[in-house]
Amino acid sequence: MATIIPTMRYKDAKAAIKWLSQAFGFEEHLVVPGENDTIAHAQLKLGQAMIMLGSEKEDDYGKLLKTPAALNGINTQSPYIIVEKIDEHYQKAVAARAEIVLDIKDEDYGGRAYTCRDPEGHIWNFGSYNPWTESS
């Protein structure tokens, strides 16, 4: 068995946790406070999906991973998260002022999807297309 859990760093991880919960419906699974009002490590879940995040810092791992702000807004990867009620999810993200970069639409390969940017510039893809249940 293999499970992929995206990890990311935020300048203000505490605010990110609150926003990701409000905008996307993530729930706190584990949050470990760090020094100086930072987050050492957090695990957020959405259904069976999980992400991990922490505050930006210059430790051994932090030297390998930068925030989009540190890369002039560029992302080098972005998660695709399957949600059943994609139109409701989209409306919730819009209400939380997610920056919609690719509006919701029906995809040629099936399902509906949209892409947005969170307040710190991370790109998120949400869609109803589930490659695990689609026949090849």
pTM of the predicted structure, to 2 decimals:
0.91
User: In the structure, what pLDDT confidence band is assigned to residue 132 with cuts at 50, 70 and 90?
Assistant: confident
Tens of pLDDT, residues 2-60 = 889 999 999 999 999 999 999 999 999 999 999 999 999 999 999 989 999 999 998 89
- Express each pLDDT in 44-100 by its tens digit: 999 989 999 999 998 898 889 889 999 999 999 999 999 999 999 999 999 999 999
**Confidence (pLDDT) at 3:** 86
The Cβ-side half-sphere exposure at 67, using a 13 Å CA radius, reads 19
Hey, which residues does 43 pair with through a beta bridge? 30, 52
Tokens of 72: 């002039």
- pLDDT at residue 136 greater than cutoff 50: no
Nearest residue to 13 (alpha-carbon basis) of 33, 31, 39 = 39
Domain 7-127 matching CATH 3.40.50.2000: the answer reads no
